[in-house]
Amino acid sequence: MATHNTLLGDDSLIPHPDGFAVALRIPWYRSLWLSAVSEIRVNVDGVEIAQDRMHAELNGRSFPVQALKEQWDTLWFMQDRLHVVVHRDRPLRPGERLDVDVTISMRILYMQIAPMTYVTNRVHGHRELTARAAA
């Protein structure tokens, strides 16, 4: 269950007022604190998106992608989708297609292997996605 095929779904590309969001499923078999996320990298149509051109949204809260590892009080539940919002000049329209490539690294905080060192789950997902209507 903790495999790359859980990260992106066919419905993962969503128009957003700031550009578009990529909805990620937690790539693990149980919920984890958002602070477990150590890195998210996104490439769209072969172009890497700069960290300062993205933010993350979860349950009505917004975080800079670089600050996720500081969110020790926020749980990413299995049923939730972490929306990684990519900023661009115009919002994506429903029906537009993008080639989306995401890599996420997560520290498994209950699997400590040395002082302050944890097992890392690095998962890569790649799909050509069609933007669905915003919910």
pTM above 0.85, yes or no: yes
- Name beta bridge partners: 44: 47, 100
**Residue 134 placed within a domain:** no
At 50-109, the pLDDT tens digits run: 999 999 999 999 999 999 999 999 999 999 999 999 999 999 999 999 999 999 999 998
d(CA 76, CA 74): 7
For 68, the 3-state DSSP assignment is helix
Look at the alpha carbons of 59, 62, 67, 71 in this order and tell me if their dihedral is positive or negative. Answer: negative
Number of domains making up the chain: 1
Query: What is the domain range of residue 67?
Result: 4-129
Q: Residue holding tokens 């998106």?
A: 49
At 22-63, the pLDDT tens digits run: 999 999 999 999 999 999 999 999 999 999 999 999 999 999
**Residue 135 placed within a domain:** no
